[in-house]
Structure 1
């Protein structure tokens, strides 16, 4: 484990995987994800082994071995975390983001110096009102739950109200070993919501918000994922100035790395 200090003094922990010759990529997880999450570990190792990439796999603030900024939830702080990691990596990096991490990667690409490419896997933009739209006062209810230390209630609330998961599905998770992992990262959901709040209102994406993302972007979605995620991913590719969209066969929001990694690795290492 290595660490960097972000602009506001928050410590960000990360693992450096590989010392490849094809460049560096920072992996940015989504809600409840963390650097030791098996999917992130497998993706990091595969990109290092098969594509000669140096991979920085980090804990977003409030998770794992990174510290937090309790009560202060601003997407700009997470962008600053990525900037600190990019500087530690030598100043030239690609970004891979999963779910809310994909949106965070796109936000970072607008302002972090040295970002070369972005791969955005299933950014959860909510671009119409035909599916689940989170309540407008979500943060007003979420923040007090976190402050009160009610981690189980926080997980249930965020999964059902922000992510739109069925309550019965969330209830079933409570009897699985995975529930402990969810509660351990529950406080970080306020940071996820700070990233996602402007873009889950059921309105079309505004191209003006994304004109600053000038680097090449690959937006990915699986054909077995929720229709809302496919719709949001396609909408992102349409408004980004230099983006392409690809659908991955046999992939859901919990991706198979054997299918996801080649799409990511080939995009990040292609020339011309």
Structure 2
């Protein structure tokens, strides 16, 4: 587990906690839903010492502050901007899942990014999975307001992520479930980052003019590779890569990402 973080203030004053490891070009690791800096720390260690890997707590997580009542996606873009300034002024980004969408949005909006890599951004293309029910984000926020955090996590997983109910039942019986419930209050942020309909914003992605790598796991449901390929198609010159033997839980097997990321980001 990463400890003793450094702190940078975002534009609205919210403290953002981060840790750096390794030596070389800086790469910020952006986790998705149910992730804080501890869940990307193994990947940071795997990439070091060839790069300086920066793991951070997105707002509302870990040692970072929060401003839930005034949350907008722009606040998370500002958090990344402050972090980029703190670690040298220009970086590469790696984003996992909704963290990949956040990295894409930050780059499209002109943050100083050298290279960009994303893994399984959860856009829905080609009707390959059901879309979230209308109002899912609002229901999640209402459940959190009622302190029904367990129900909020279940709704997010089944509706927003399309995890089968029997798999969610198995997750609820696992030791990891309390960690997920502990981050329930941040789920509306991920819904906002992804957009209510999980639609790929091709016109906005076309603004990205930095080298980009879109990845997916060969063992993932078909909608993840399809989304990765669509991301690569939307960005001029972007590359598309399938990581053999991996699924959406690739952060638990960071060695699988080591060579693809180092080959691309260095």
1:9 is matched with 13
The CA distance in 2 between the partners of 1:107 and 1:164, in whole Å, is: 23
Structure 1 residues 89-127: Cα deviation after superposition (integer angstroms, max 9, x where no partner):
110100000000011100011224321010011111112
Partner of 1:36, secondary structure, is helix
Distance 1:229 1:35, change over 3 A: same
> Quick check: 1:26 aligned with 2:24?
no
Q: Is the 8 A contact 2:132 2:197 kept in 1?
A: no
Q: Is the 8 A contact 1:91 1:113 kept in 2?
A: no
Please give the TM-score of this superposition, normalised by the length of structure 1. 0.92
Q: Is the 8 A contact 1:223 1:249 kept in 2?
A: yes
1:35 is matched with 37
Q: Is the 8 A contact 2:59 2:76 kept in 1?
A: yes
The CA distance in 1 between the partners of 2:71 and 2:131, in whole Å, is: 21
1:188 is matched with 186
Q: Is the 8 A contact 1:145 1:154 kept in 2?
A: yes
1:109 is matched with 107
The CA distance in 2 between the partners of 1:122 and 1:79, in whole Å, is: 20
Distance 1:176 1:239, change over 3 A: same
What stretches of structure 2 of length at least 5 have no aligned partner? none
Cα RMSD of the aligned pairs, angstroms, is 1.4
Q: Is the 8 A contact 1:83 1:113 kept in 2?
A: yes
Q: What's the CA shift for 1:198?
A: 5.2
Q: Is the 8 A contact 1:73 1:194 kept in 2?
A: no
Partner of 2:38, secondary structure, is coil
1:241 corresponds, among 236, 239, 262, to 236
The CA distance in 2 between the partners of 1:199 and 1:115, in whole Å, is: 27
Distance 1:215 1:198, change over 3 A: farther
The CA distance in 1 between the partners of 2:156 and 2:170, in whole Å, is: 15
Q: What's the CA shift for 1:199?
A: 5.4
Q: What's the CA shift for 1:148?
A: 2.1
Q: Is the 8 A contact 2:152 2:184 kept in 1?
A: yes
> Quick check: 1:212 aligned with 2:212?
no
Distance 1:96 1:141, change over 3 A: same
What stretches of structure 1 of length at least 5 have no aligned partner? none
The CA distance in 1 between the partners of 2:137 and 2:41, in whole Å, is: 30
Q: Is the 8 A contact 1:64 1:185 kept in 2?
A: no
Bigger drift between 217-226 and 147-156 goes to: 147-156
Distance 1:239 1:217, change over 3 A: same
Q: Is the 8 A contact 1:210 1:241 kept in 2?
A: no
Q: Is the 8 A contact 1:73 1:190 kept in 2?
A: no
1:1-272 matches, within 5 Å, as 1-18=5-22, 20-21=23-24, 23-37=25-39, 40-49=40-49, 52-197=50-195, 200-201=198-199, 205-255=200-250, 256-269=253-266
Q: Is the 8 A contact 2:81 2:111 kept in 1?
A: yes
Partner of 2:16, secondary structure, is strand
The number of residues matched between the two structures is 260
Partner of 1:71, secondary structure, is helix
